[in-house]
């Protein structure tokens, strides 16, 4: 039977595979943080959507302009790990589609999460409408996309559903959500890796 992604990742947390993701994703996330922080002179608040063990929340909090950061994840094991690593941190166990923050934030970040949704437009619109302030920034990192041929077998390998779109289709999807200033980058490309697809956009109002 096809498994829920959050069940798989809860299991991964229990066998320490969250740390491997942290190591493998950090270079791309560094680049994503650079994009977010470019031209950012005012203090800001930040949500990591699908935060895993919460490492990106803790990294962002090292920036003195970041006054508040929190993570949300639908895998209980991941949130338990996050709270163990950082007992005073803000980590919420919830499905992203079923949650909204009490106060809107300036930045939403999500690394290797959004393609687990059957309808990425729905979750991105939800984050735009219910999470982000006007002028807020959204950044999404994806290794699972059409141009990265090596990833096409991942749904079979993991036995879960994933949505495979091309770079052009992702860009159009963000525009269809009403986001502005949409940009895409491929970071960490090499002879053996197509690179992480980074999508950036702003909510204007
Ligand atoms: C590949 S992991 C990436 C975790 C983290 N962003 C990182 O880079 O280490 C994907 C994460 O998305 C979470 N996730 C997937 N679908 C979700 C959903 N519907 N609601 C909340 N979290 C979800 C999983 O539980 C998992 O922790």
The residue-averaged pLDDT of 181-197 equals 97
Is residue 205 pLDDT above 90, yes or no?
Answer: no
Look up the domain containing 136 and give its range.
Answer: 5-202
Return the pLDDT at 155.
98
Return the pLDDT at 78.
98
Distance 196 CA to ligand 1 centre (A): 16
Which CATH number does the domain housing residue 36 bear? 3.40.50.150
The residue-averaged pLDDT of 49-66 equals 98
- Regarding the beta carbon of 95 and ligand 1, being less than 6 Å apart is answered yes
As for how many domains the chain has, the answer is 1
For the chain, percent of residues with pLDDT exceeding 70: 100
The residue nearest atom 21 of ligand 1, judged by CA position, is 74
- Regarding the beta carbon of 127 and ligand 1, being less than 6 Å apart is answered no
Name the residue of 59, 73, 80, 145 whose CB sits within 8 Å of the most ligand 1 atoms, as the mutation to test its pocket: 73
Place 198 in a pLDDT band, splitting at 50, 70 and 90: very high
Return the pLDDT at 20.
96
Distance 78 CA to ligand 1 centre (A): 9
For the chain, percent of residues with pLDDT exceeding 90: 99
Is residue 104 pLDDT above 90, yes or no?
Answer: yes
DSSP one-letter string for 85-154: H-TTS-EEES-GGG---SS-EEEEEEES-GGGSS-HHHHHHHHHHHTEEEEEEEEEEES-STT-GGGTTH
Contact between 33 and 60 under an 8 Å Cβ cutoff? The reply is yes
Between strands 196-202 and 180-187, the pairing is antiparallel
CA distance readout (Å), 49 to 1, 43, 82, 87, 152? 26, 20, 13, 19, 23
The residue nearest atom 8 of ligand 1, judged by CA position, is 111
| pTM as predicted | 0.98
The ligand 1 atom at the shortest distance from the C-alpha of residue 29 is: 8
Model confidence pLDDT, tens digit, residues 112-124 = 999 999 999 999 9
Return the pLDDT at 54.
98
């Amino acid at each position: 039977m096809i498994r829920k992604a959050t069940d798989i990742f809860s299991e991964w947390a229990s066998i320490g595979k969250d740390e491997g993701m942290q190591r493998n994703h950090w270079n791309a996330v560094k680049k994503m943080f650079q994009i977010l922080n470019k031209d950012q002179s005012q203090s800001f608040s930040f949500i990591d959507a699908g935060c895993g063990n919460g490492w990106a929340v803790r990294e962002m909090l090292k920036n003195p302009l970041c006054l508040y950061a929190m993570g949300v994840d639908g895998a209980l094991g991941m949130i338990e790990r996050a709270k163990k690593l950082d007992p005073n941190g803000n980590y919420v166990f919830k499905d992203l589609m079923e949650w909204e923050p009490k106060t809107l934030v300036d930045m939403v970040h999500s690394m290797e999460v959004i393609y687990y949704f059957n309808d990425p437009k729905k979750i991105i619109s939800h984050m735009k409408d219910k999470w982000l302030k006007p002028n807020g920034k959204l950044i999404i990192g994806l290794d699972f996309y059409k141009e990265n041929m090596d990833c096409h077998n991942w749904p079979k390998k993991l036995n879960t559903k994933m949505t495979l779109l091309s770079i052009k289709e992702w860009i159009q999807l963000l525009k269809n959500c009403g986001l502005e200033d949409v940009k895409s980058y491929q970071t960490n490309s090499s002879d053996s890796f197509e690179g992480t697809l980074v999508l950036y956009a702003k909510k204007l109002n």
